[in-house]
Structure 1
Amino acid sequence: MTHPTSEGRPNQSGSVILREWNATRQAMKAQTGAVPVSEITRGTEAFGWITGMAGPGRAVTERSAMSVAAVYACVSLIGGAIASLVMGEYERNGADNMPVQSDLWYLFNEEMHPRWSAAVGWEYGVQSLLLHGDLFQRIHRVTRYSSAIESFEPLHPLCVNPMRYGERMVYSVWDPVTGQVEYIDQDDIIHVPGPGFDGYRGLSQIRHVLRLPVSASIAAGELSEGILNDGLRPDLVLKTSTKLDEAKINKLRNQWLEKYSGLRNSAAPVVLDGDMDIKQISMSASDAQLLENRKLTADDICGIFGVMPYMIGRPEKTTTLGSSVEQFGISFVKYTLQRHIVKIEQEANRKVIRSPTKFVRYDVSSLERGDTSARFTAYRTAAGRAGEPGFMTVNEIRRKENLPPVPDGDQLFKGTNDAAKPNPPAAE
């Protein structure tokens, strides 16, 4: 729909709803005014949004959180797992769900945008979901009036601001390259929020649950680095009953720094003369239990992301969820990935597919796949054996292993009756 402008030409810049909403918002902003910089103080929401600090402590940002090994391992593990899954389109045919040839398959699984491959785009979106609490992707259509989709553009959560207009959502998207702000209707934004969704956004993990573990991990890392740089020597004080003037104190301090400070001099023995004594005034690495504290912090981070510690290279942490590769994969899908992929599937169905008879679904069989022996034993049962009818054909099994079909491989084994008859003379 177009509306004439004052010059008699059609104006096609956005929909009627978005233009009305934008005019109302600009009027409200003119009445309320902006928040003065002087009011952005520690403890306010604006201060926490800008610095990543919700209270006292170190600023936790996306980059500082990813500098912690446990956070990086968990985020890359979950993001890489979801990015490796294939999203297929299916059609409901009575009680059966049949796969269909979809024009969206290439966008979902190969190239979602001219600047983004599908795997990189999904991994980036999952990272945004795990750290900022929201996954955003803009749906680009062929034209404003077409339902055909040409690409999905991943968006950084801090560049998107969800707002409500009546019963619908409107998203303001800031382009960091051009500095322009564009308002987009909810039907053209894929929005997957995390836990704590309040109708606008999910809770930001780096501002809430990750703030303390990441800050503690960074502090422990800085302390460990300082101890190593000082040659593993704790802070010491020299005591003597003899009165020393300032010149002697400075000379002694400089000699100590020259002879005993730094990693190169960490093994040098300390030599004291006269009645001078040495006393430790700080805890050593052992006393501070740095290794134990860092392990506990890593366990907390694994619990936040729902990742078993053994999956990020911590074999000392055992699990009771199984002992085989297949059982590990099933537990990872069930308890870690399922919470994310279900929301992604539902958002794609309601914003992209928009059909009661069609839907998209991730194929997680690659993650739940067992070892070679377990797979071949299952295939033997699926193909059928003497007295047991099969439920998969030979070609269906070969397709699972990415093998080409064979002639007469589409016949389903029904049991003993169609088994090959033994040749009595040959048997003798």
Structure 2
Amino acid sequence: MATERPLPNLWHATAPAAPETGPLTGDLKSDVAIIGGGFTGLSAALHLAEMGVKATVIEARMIGYGGSGRNVGLVNAGMWVKPEDLIATLGAEAGGRLLNELGDGPSLVYDLVARHGIECEAVRNGTLHMAVGPEGWKDIQEREAQWRKRGAPVEALSAEKAHGLSGAEGFAGALLDRRAGTIQPLAYARGLARAALTAGAEIYTETPLIAAERRGDVWKLTAGRGTLTARHVVVATEAYGALIEGAPWRAQTRELTVLPFFQFATNPLPDDVAGRILPERQGAWDTGLVMTSFRMDKQNRLIFGSIGRLDAMAAGTHRAFAARSVRKLFPHIGDFRFEYWWDGRIGMTTNHLPVMHVLAPNVVSVSGYNGRGIAPGTVFGRAIARHVTGDDAAIPLSESPITPDPWRNLKSAFYHAGAQAKHFVDRRF
């Protein structure tokens, strides 16, 4: 198993404690085995358990170790791709269904939060897609027009209105999407896990999948220090599946380009300062080629993120860029320091849309969230639960073969190096 150095992650510092779990030992049987304890796997486990199906999650590290504990915490509707581009790729019927399912994704997230009493700093006041320059403003207007045709409550804001809602300087406008919001992502993942356990699911952590063998109509999985036998298997590892060397069903990661993304969180800001930054607590990201994001948390910390990995060579460049950006965006901020910083990996597909695979008999996966993991992960988890219990049309994607991207490693390296180079020069003047 690959190892990573620990970084001071704000979500780990402020999330409620995870439910008590431990490694798998001995030989267990289940109806459905779920590989991965993130949003998709935990949503699948919860919905299966609520249907009376025995579901068992095995997670190589801890609940929310991957993207579920590292992302920005924006609960966005739809995908990054514009609606009309999505329909052009998938067709009117399939594309329209996917847009409807994911457009309602935030509602599912916030319904689960309310129903299960998940403490995750949930705020549903929308998100802001900030326009960078004239091209960014054109993009925002196109997105508004396309979503409004579908009845979505979105609004293109002028530069003045965008400044009023964000407090940020220098943007040409913004798209306000009232379907969306923010959460503390690791707290949400842990809350899903607790709800799934309460409903009757089982979760085992520090339990990497080692081997899988088909025996008749069931699968026998060797995981950690035990075995798990199940009729159905759900692979819900997304971009983190490649971390377990030699594990079964890693081939799907070969079609995902890893886009690294980092975040820095400040110390809690004084009320008079924090009150002028995203006063209604929307989360925000921009249309820049090298995207940046910013949001506030419950403790008045400003969280700033962008593309890049915080390795030994790049961390200093990204930290300096983050500090310059915060001062440029919010000139009134005064003195601040970064108390937390962490990074993660986003799984990007060539068309920026998720994919569904049947990896083997009764083995299904959905991956490629392209930076939209919270709502789509929750939606696809529920859909997978319905799929394995007999609803063949439950997943709003057509099955497709794995198509490895031969350029994925080169593209990942380019994103990492390119972001570092751009951050070295950006916002110095």
Fold agreement, TM-score > 0.5: no
TM-score, scaled relative to structure 2:
0.17
Computing the radius of gyration over CA atoms, which structure comes out larger, 1 or 2?
A: 1
Comparing both chains, which one has the higher relative contact order based on Cα–Cα distances under 8 Å and sequence gaps of 6 or more?
2
The structure with the largest strand share of the pair is: 2
TM-score, scaled relative to structure 1:
0.17
The structure with the largest helix share of the pair is: 1
